[in-house]
Every structure is written in C-alpha cells, then in structure tokens.
Amino acid sequence: MDDFPPLSLHVPEPEVRPGGTPDFSNVPIPKAGSVPRPPVDVDPRDIRDLAFSIIRVLNREGEAVGPWSGLLSDEALLEGLRHMMTLRAFDARMLMAQRQGKTSFYMQHMGEEAVSCAFRKALEPGDMNFPTYRQAGLLIAGGYPMVDMMNQIFSNEADPLKGRQLPIMYSSKEHGFFSISGNLGTQFVQAVGWAMASAISNDTRIAAGWIGDGSTAESDFHAALVFASTYRAPVVLNIVNNQWAISTFQGIARGGAGTFAARGLGFGIPALRVDGNDYLAVYAVARWAAERARRNLGPTLVEYVTYRVGAHSTSDDPSAYRPKDESEAWPLGDPVIRLKNHLVRRGAWSEERHRQAEAEVMDSVIVAQKEAEKHGTLHSGGKPSVRDMFEGVYAEMPPHLRRQRHQAGV
C-alpha cells in the first residue's frame, strides 16, 4: 500500500470569486450558424455532438445565420421582443414593490427572458408546462393577464390562489402552466407523467418539463429521464443552465460531466445545447423538440446556456459569492439587446422605436400594477378571507377541518 499517497477530496470551485476579474475564457462559444440542424426523426446516437456544442442563430453583427435560422417573421420577432421587454419591466416593478413592502418576496428573470418567452411560442394551445419559479415568460408570452400575476404576488383579495402560495408560485391550467411548487425538481418527473397520460389517451398534446442547473442534482431529474426514455414520453425536458444555484456555481451540480445536456445521452435521449440568450435559437430548438414529441418520436433534453444576471431572489446578495460585474463579461450578452439589434439590422426596428416601446411597456406594467393594487397588497387593502385558508385541502371539507375552522372563528 506504500505505493499510494493519501487520498484527497476534490471540491470544484468557480474560476473567480468577489474581487476577481470575471473570466469566461473557459466557456467555448461556437460561431453562430455552425451547428447543423438534423431531421427531427434523427437517431439520438447520430447527434451526440449537439450535447457538447451550442446552437446559435444570431451572430455578433446581429445577423441570423445558419440552418436553425429563418423560422420567424418580423411580426413574430417584434412580438417576442415585446414579451421579453414586458417581463423585464414586470420584474423591475415587482422588485421595487418588494422593497416597498407590498409583497414579501420576488424572483426576477434578468438575462433569461428569451428562454421562457421564445419557448412558449413553440407550443400549441393545450400543451402543458411544468415550470420552475423562473419561467414567468411562459405566462407573459402566453397572454396571461399581468394583473392576475400581480394579484398573486400581492396575495390580495383578487389573488387567484387565495393567498395560499408564496409570491410568484403561479398556476394557470388554462394557460398551460402547472402549479409551481417550492420543492425543486418535483415537477420534472410530473411533466413526464402528464406526457405519458397524453400518449395513453391517444391525445396530440405534449408536455414540457423545466429545471435549473442546480436542481438537476435532485433524484427527480434522474427519475424523469428514466421514465421519459423508457416510455418515449412526448415531453421536452428543459434545463436552464444560468450558471448559478443561489451561491453555488454550476460545476458543483455538473461535476465531471462535460455539459448538462450530456446527461441525456446515457438515457438514449437526444440532447441539444442552445444559446439561451438568442431568442431565435431558443425558438428554433424548442420547435424542433416539440415537433419530435408531437410526432411521437419521444423526449428531447435541451440545455439553455444563459446567465442569471440578477440576484437569486429578493433575499439574496450575489456580491457575496461572485464578482459584481460578472454578468457584463458573459459572452452570450443580453437577450433583449441582441434581438433588438437583429431587428434593427433587419430594418424592422430602430433605436428610437425601441426607446418608445420601452416607455410603452413600462406604462402597461404600471397600469396593471395600479389595477392590482386596487385589490390590495400584502399588508394593506383587500385580503383573501381566513375561510379560504381552510378550503381546498380536500374536495370536501372533512369534519376535523370544519371543527378547526370553527375554532378559528370563521
């Protein structure tokens, strides 16, 4: 045994900590347009490379290039730009509302707007998302009223969830948005079950599961991939890799795997990696994966490479664990600015119209906020009733809950 030195434990560390100079030189970024677009019925074994590359459409000059481009009209792109701008303005206002004590909590999407906004446009009515807490773009791009989102955030008398849920844990069956849970990863395997149910019922609808880079370490991630693979469930399994799980850099969850997408390969699931800050690329990949599912060709795993520009939540201060200016060094830029530049280059947009649109979007968010605040905020105005606290635990209230409701004086 003398031949072996003592063992030592490897604990991964991010390249840079606070005070250091941001460095993403270790993140290889392929040229836009350089990754091929396989047919949707491709054999997963033939596209293993796609799990290690990054599908990108918009190049540095703002042009849409390569085989994944050419899917969206000017109108569709302008709509997408507006959705992302709306989500960003919504975030800004709700962040402020939290600081003003109008709600207890908020989580923003800064930098990740393209992922959920563009993905939503690849779905059909009736499809179901099983989102995390950072895909509100699915609601914004799906036409869910901002006032209802705010009513939920304010836990007011018009809150669709009757004040029972922490802010941003939205639910809308009608808009294909499954009830958000605080427990990470749980919904990833539920999405697979929903998709299996659609297949069992010979339906045409598909499901989408969502998970962050950190939560891929949960057992539910593994179970979801096993079941999706075994039953070839019509589901798109989305990993949003924003580099950070609160304070923990993605290397802790990823370990020795080259990429998160690569995890799909061991399950025989085609795995694609996409530039999460490129609205056109996200849409193109989402549509490819959705079409695969809809044609009963089975699941697809998609890793969206992006960066969490904002704090994890209103309870978090990222300057304690990463350089303050790290987001500015992120090589994939800002999804809103990149789409704006592309539209300007296309001749469909201008700096002036963009400034005007920013003001319009902010106005619409403020109008919605005023409307929502008429129904109350967390500590003032209208509230959900205490009776609502006892309802809905079961379809019918059992005797012990009736006794407790009586004790509570309602």
Q: Which is nearer to another protein, 104 or 186 (CB)?
A: 186
Least distance CB 83 / another protein (angstroms): 23
The continuous run of DSSP H or E covering 208 comes out as strand 207-212
Helix (H, G, I), strand (E, B) or coil at 99: helix
Least distance CB 102 / another protein (angstroms): 21
Q: Which is nearer to another protein, 179 or 364 (CB)?
A: 179
Q: Which is nearer to another protein, 76 or 226 (CB)?
A: 226
Give phi and psi for 350, each to the nearest 5. -145, 165
Give phi and psi for 50, each to the nearest 5. -65, -20
Least distance CB 394 / another protein (angstroms): 5
- CA torsion through residues 175, 181, 185, 186, sign: negative
Least distance CB 148 / another protein (angstroms): 12
Q: What angle do CA 35, 38, 41 make, to 5 degrees?
A: 155
Measured CA to CA, the distance from residue 409 to residue 403 in angstroms comes to: 10
Q: Which is nearer to another protein, 45 or 173 (CB)?
A: 173
Contact between 65 and 59 (Cβ < 8 Å)? yes
Least distance CB 377 / another protein (angstroms): 19
Q: Which is nearer to another protein, 195 or 361 (CB)?
A: 195
Measured CA to CA, the distance from residue 91 to residue 9 in angstroms comes to: 41
Alpha carbon separation from 71 to 66, 122, 168, 195, 362 (Å, rounded):
11, 11, 32, 26, 29
- What secondary structure letter does DSSP report for 240? E
The tokens describing 389, both together, are 């606290």
Contacts to another protein by CB under 8 A: 128, 130, 160-162, 164-165, 169, 171-173, 178-179, 181-183, 186, 189-201, 207, 219-220, 222-224, 226-227, 230, 392-395, 398-400
Q: Which is nearer to another protein, 66 or 163 (CB)?
A: 163
Least distance CB 160 / another protein (angstroms): 6
Measured CA to CA, the distance from residue 250 to residue 14 in angstroms comes to: 8
- Residue whose C-alpha is closest to residue 314's, from 5, 46, 103, 51: 103
Least distance CB 282 / another protein (angstroms): 24
Q: Which is nearer to another protein, 163 or 333 (CB)?
A: 163
DSSP string of 14-80, one letter each residue: -S--TTSPP--TTS--PPTT-S----TT--GGGGGGGGTS-B--B-TTS-B-STT-----HHHHHHH
Contact between 89 and 361 (Cβ < 8 Å)? yes
Q: Which is nearer to another protein, 193 or 335 (CB)?
A: 193
Q: Which is nearer to another protein, 4 or 394 (CB)?
A: 394
Say which amino acid occupies 373.
E
What is the longest distance spanned by two Cα atoms in the chain?
76
Q: Which is nearer to another protein, 97 or 225 (CB)?
A: 225
Packed helices 351-373 and 146-154: angle between N→C axes, nearest 10 degrees: 50
Least distance CB 105 / another protein (angstroms): 15
The tokens describing 94, both together, are 């709700």
Least distance CB 180 / another protein (angstroms): 8
Least distance CB 112 / another protein (angstroms): 24
